[in-house]
């Protein structure tokens, strides 16, 4: 009986000792998943935006070498670009499907990681999840209208009022996606910092960089009408990519 009791006592103690080790292992695994998702998402977005560079698209045989038009360019320029660069837009649209999955994976896995680390920053990670889901939906609509623009250009000889309307809807949807991007950025940056996953300068980068798309979004109508205010939001997007890469590498290293 004594031997049996001793054996049971040893088994219980071994189980209790193994539990923290398993928890730490799970946390490390989740940390790396978040890091990989961040890097993959950044890489996919960089590749997507490269498709709108005329030189890159031409090198890949996807376009005629002209860069994507801005929302302030004449409608004739917009029409000519989409008529000649269907392949580049098709690849960019396909990559958006990847972007949606990676963004949602990143923000949900980040929220789970924050909760496993004690819950500090959980409110900010919830903001990142909600804003990230909104951002995914708005960018999906942005790409959907972009696809419609390409298909319309393929069947026309010159731009029509309907073509112009679809292009304006595309611009307006992108402008409205900017505040969602900023909220996602700020929520993720503050959540990772509160959980001790990133350095203080990364929090500052997130707050400053995330504020830019939000401020730009206040002028959504002006952006859709071709205002240079768009580039304030684009600067915030560039900062978001930098933060994702730096944060992703840090999380992978544990």
* C-beta of residue 184 within 8 angstroms of C-beta of residue 136: no
Report pLDDT for 13.
45
Task: Tell me which H or E stretch contains 243.
Answer: helix 230-252
Q: How far is 7 from 109, CA to CA, in rounded Å? A: 40
**pLDDT beyond 50 at 10:** no
Q: Measured between alpha carbons, how far is 218 from 226 in angstroms, rounded to an integer?
A: 14
Whether the pLDDT of residue 19 is over 70: the answer is: no
- Residue 120 CB neighbours (<10 A): 15
> How sure is the predictor about 18, in pLDDT bands with cuts at 50, 70 and 90?
very low
How high is the pLDDT of residue 28? 59
User: Residue 157: pLDDT above 90?
Assistant: no
> What are the structural domain ranges in the chain?
73-86+93-252
* Under 8 Å between Cβ of 140 and 175: no
The predicted model scores a pTM of: 0.87
pLDDT digits (tens, 9 = 90+) for 47-70: 999 999 999 999 999 999 999 999
Element housing 215 (H / E) = helix 200-217
Percent of the chain with pLDDT over 70: 89
Per-residue tokens: 129: 């999840």
Evaluate if residue 23 carries a pLDDT over 80. Answer: no
Mean pLDDT value of segment 236-242: 97
Question: Is the C-alpha dihedral spanning 178, 180, 183, 184 positive or negative?
Answer: negative
CA dist., res. 90 & res. 97, Å (int):
11
What pLDDT does residue 50 have? 95
pLDDT range class, residue 171, cuts 50, 70, 90: very high
**Token pair recorded at residue 48:** 């997507």
């Amino acid at each position: 009986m004594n031997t049996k009791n001793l054996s049971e006592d040893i088994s219980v103690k071994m189980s209790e000792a193994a539990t923290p080790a398993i928890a730490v292992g799970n946390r490390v695994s989740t940390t790396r998943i978040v890091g990989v998702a961040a890097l993959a998402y950044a890489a996919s977005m960089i590749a997507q935006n490269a498709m709108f560079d005329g030189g890159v698209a031409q090198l890949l045989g996807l376009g005629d070498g002209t860069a994507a038009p801005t929302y302030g360019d004449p409608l004739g320029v917009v029409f000519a670009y989409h008529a000649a660069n269907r392949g580049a837009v098709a690849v960019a649209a396909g990559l958006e499907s990847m972007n949606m999955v990676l963004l949602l994976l990143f923000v949900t896995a980040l929220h789970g990681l924050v909760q496993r680390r004690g819950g500090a920053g959980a409110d900010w990670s919830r903001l990142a999840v909600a804003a990230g889901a909104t951002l995914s939906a708005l960018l999906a609509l942005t790409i959907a209208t972009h696809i419609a623009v390409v298909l319309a250009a393929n069947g026309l000889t010159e731009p029509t009022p309907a073509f112009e309307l679809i292009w304006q809807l595309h611009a307006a949807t992108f402008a409205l996606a900017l505040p969602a991007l900023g909220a996602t950025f700020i929520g993720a940056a503050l959540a990772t910092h509160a959980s001790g996953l990133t350095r203080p300068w990364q929090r500052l980068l997130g707050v400053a960089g995330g504020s830019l798309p939000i401020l730009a979004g206040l002028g959504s109508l002006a952006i859709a009408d071709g205002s240079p205010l768009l580039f304030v939001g684009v600067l915030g997007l560039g900062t978001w990519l930098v933060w994702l890469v730096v944060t992703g590498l840090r999380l992978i290293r544990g």
